[in-house]
Chain A
Amino acid sequence: MQGNTACAEGALAAGCRFFGGYPITPSTEVAEHMALKLPKTGGVFIQMEDEIASIAAVIGASWTGVRAMTATSGPGFSLMMENLGFAVITETPCVVVNIQRGGPSTGQPTMAAQGDMLQCRFGSHGDYSVIALSPASVQEMYDLTAEAFNLSDRFRVPVFVMADEIIGHMREKLVVPDTVPRQERKLLKKGDLPFRAGDDLVPGFPTFGKGYSVHVTGLTHDERGYPCATSPSVHEDLVNRLVDKVESARDAISSADIVNPDARVVFISYGAPSRAVQQVLHDTSRDDIGHLRLKLVWPFAESLLSRFPDAETFIVPELNLGQMAREIQRHTDRTVIPVPKLGGALHNPSDLAGLLEEVA
């Protein structure tokens, strides 16, 4: 099965019942498959007039209690940024799949890139935090998309599936599980204030149409949900909670494959470059090479680095100019070597092996 189709199938298995989207290469197959399948599951597919409307419709649908998603690529992702900030401040669960292509601007529509890794974390204005996953196989397009809905409902944040054109258009065998784990959205208890959170920092969800009479606004709001845009303390408390509810869970939700924790030289990768690294590890006869493959990229769990206590060097191949390498650098005093790659082609395993010989 194709990666993009697996992504749609994973969403359907997770109970996604609303898709609002707009055609864009190289993500379009996700929308096409949802258009084919959603009506047969009692769900709704709607092709909106642009990506701004797509994410808006997804957020609106989410307030009726359904699992909702969209899929896009660079230019459309840029258009979604304002409304993604709205989803953050209103704590609306939603899943956004980005099949990354070369940018900036129209760039390389049919070629792979990982150039939106910082945009998905920081692209909307103001301070906030989100969750991003990065699949490296067709199987993970299915599994991680399904998991994205659980994380989004649990934390009430947008969750990004940051894939790339290679994984999205790759065809591999997919094993479809009988069921996927499902964690439901915690509902608001009647009588509780709609934006007052408990110890988990996530308030219960007041689904529209259930008699909560909730006012939901993109303005800074108090625990009743009422606009309160000039109180310094209300704003500070709200934004701190929005960030803390995700960041305080970064070890608990971290997800990565760890190969050879005794290694001296460790590759760190996510998405398509992981495949080149796996080939290097497969081919090498050395036993001091390790691999940290991130499946959950944001929030970055720096504790993963200490799983390699003997590591002297981290090598970070990415299809960008070192976006996650910069994040890794700020969490370690060991050598971090970014291996940037632009243009759409994957790192050549022999080049990475050559680099390995130069380093150690």
Chain B
Amino acid sequence: MTYADWFREDRLPHIYCVGCGNGTVINCTLSAVDQMGWEKEETVFVSGIGCSSRAPGYIVTDSLHTTHGRAIAFATGIKMANPDLRVIVFTGDGDLAAIGGNHFIHACRRNIDLTVVCMNNMIYGMTGGQGSPTTPPGALSTTTPYGSGEAAFDLCGLAAAAGANYVARYTSYHVKELTRAVRGGLENPGFSFIEALVQCPTNYGRRNKFRQVMDQIEYFKSHALLVQKADRMREEGKKIPDDMIIIGILARRNRPALGVRK
């Protein structure tokens, strides 16, 4: 099989805008799932509300498209009731970190054996471009017309601090690395969190000086800093600019986990 065999073809075409980064993350995730050799019958995709959360509807496994912010709580019920199922959650920055923040940190704390893939486009895309908990300070959105005055969440730092076994961050530029990172999450027992920064040309890019799709992807490329290099810079006393995106495997450990297949 290839990742293409996992698509629910009679649901295409999809709803994503031209240039959207979500498709890259879906492809990377399905490639990773395919590499694992998992059966469709044993795999369940769960999501909440938003652009990211439409993904399970295009995948030909059992899937649960739930309420805003609650995907991880639904997934917890599925995984605890039947640990034999492989459960993957697709979510976005608003879904996960705003309305769903409490479920996120508690799932990390429980270290329940889920893999959560967050498509972080730093904006509420589906509702037309409102500021989210990961909108960078100063960035423009329909609800931050004078620039966001709030700090942005470090989702990976949050997950690692709350107890997740596996935490990684890449972007839609880093296709091979992202695929490997998702696979690492699927392999690692316990809670795995993979953040994928994605471009949203329709609602983020055009308001924030990324006039072309490639402009934001180029930004991800030029501002990505591998975690090992960042660590080295810190050791050498060098300052890491605030706008750098720390990428790589940020946590990998084997703490006791919940809901692991026996």
Contacts and interface: CB of A to CB of B under 8 A. Distances in A.
A86 B76 contact: no
A18 B81 contact: yes
B102 A210 contact: no
Contact of A48 (B8, B57, B73, B79): B73
Given A215-B56, A226-B11, A68 B77 contact: yes
B66 to A, nearest CB: 6
A193 interface: no
B62 A57 contact: no
Nearest to B71: A56
Interface string A211-239: 11111111100000011000000000000
A86 B67 contact: yes
Interface in A80-113: 82-83, 86, 90
A62 B78 CA distance: 8
Nearest to A94: B77
Contacts of A217: 57, 64-65
A122 interface: no
B66 A86 contact: yes
B206 interface: no
Nearest to B102: A49
Most buried by A among B42, B62, B106: B62
Contact of A208 (B11, B62, B70, B103): B62
B168 interface: no
Interface string A258-283: 00000000000000000000000000
Interface string B46-75: 100000000011001111111100100111
Given A44-B80, A60-B46, A209 B64 contact: no
Contact of B80 (A18, A209, A226): A18
Nearest to B62: A208
B167 interface: no
A90 B67 CA distance: 11
Contacts of A353: none
Nearest to B81: A61
B40 interface: yes
B82 interface: yes
A213 B40 contact: yes
Contact of B81 (A44, A83, A90, A216): A44
A48 to B, nearest CB: 7
Chain A interface size, under 10 / 10 to 19 / 20 to 34 / 35 or more: 35 or more
Contacts of A208: 44, 62, 64, 78, 82, 85
B67 A57 contact: no
B82 A64 contact: yes
Contact of B85 (A59, A62, A64, A82): A64
Contacts of A90: 64
A60 B61 contact: no
B243 interface: no
A57 B67 CA distance: 12
B44 A53 contact: no
B73 A209 contact: no
Nearest to B63: A215
Q: Among the interface residues B62, B63, B77, B79, which one has the most CB atoms of the partner chain A within 10 A?
A: B77
B236 interface: no
A63 B85 CA distance: 12
A213 B42 contact: no
28 contacts: A18-B77, A18-B80, A44-B80, A46-B77, A49-B102, A52-B73, A53-B73, A53-B76, A56-B66, A56-B76, A57-B74, A60-B64, A60-B78, A61-B80, A63-B78, A83-B66, A90-B64, A208-B64, A208-B78, A209-B42, A212-B62, A213-B60, A215-B56, A215-B65, A216-B65, A217-B65, A218-B67, A226-B11
Given A56-B73, A82-B67, 8 more contacts: A18-B80, A46-B80, A49-B106, A53-B73, A56-B67, A208-B78, A215-B62, A217-B64
Closest 4 CB pairs of A and B: A60-B77, A57-B77, A56-B73, A61-B81
